[in-house]
Chains A and B, each alone.
Chain A
């Protein structure tokens, strides 16, 4: 399917475990982003990437790691999950050409850390 997909859609894990959320886009957009969505805080940027092998921290990067070995994939890893990382995570890519400036979002990954 064309577009941006996230997996898993739902995940329950325990404190201290490592979790990886996957993000895949079919457009070959250069810019990709990871946001977390929390009530009262809206969407906060965790990490972003301008291209393969180019990543940088956003507003709330602590406890997260990203990689981007291929343009189409941008996985987000929680190295040792904490309860404060219970959230809904959204991956997005930034449009180019006529859709320049528009963010395209995945469906979200709802993570619960027990």
Chain B
């Protein structure tokens, strides 16, 4: 069965420090991986998708099919990065559904 695992519930980092959010998935088909972010009192929004291979707000994520991982990284955390981050698995051969991880709360302290 498909599954998305985010092992860290909470990550607390200092401003300027690197931050890495882990995401592992299991899926028998061809996966589409995404990171969604929810800032305080805002709706969930797309941060990154694996197919675009771009950097958004300084964040990058690489899909590693061998390790079935899609970790999110940023070299220098900013206070505005404090938010809840969700890794999501898109399943195009399963009615276009998405499976979300449990989420990682990131707190960046000055």
- Residue numbers of A with Cβ under 8 A of B are 31, 33, 35, 40-45, 48, 50, 56, 58, 90, 92, 94, 101-103, 105-108
| B45 is an interface residue with CB less than 8 A from chain A | yes
Residues of B within 8 A of A107 (CB): 43
Q: State which size class the interface on B falls in.
A: 20 to 34
Chain B binding surface, main DSSP class: strand
Please pick, from B6, B51, B98, the residue contacting A33 in the complex, using a CB distance under 8 A. Answer: B98
| B32 is an interface residue with CB less than 8 A from chain A | yes
- Residue numbers of B with Cβ under 8 A of A are 6, 9, 32, 34, 36, 43-46, 49, 51, 86, 88, 90, 92, 95-103
Do B44 and A42 touch across chains, with their CB atoms under 8 A apart?
A: no
Chain A binding surface, main DSSP class: strand
Residues of A within 8 A of B51 (CB): 101
Do B86 and A42 touch across chains, with their CB atoms under 8 A apart?
A: yes
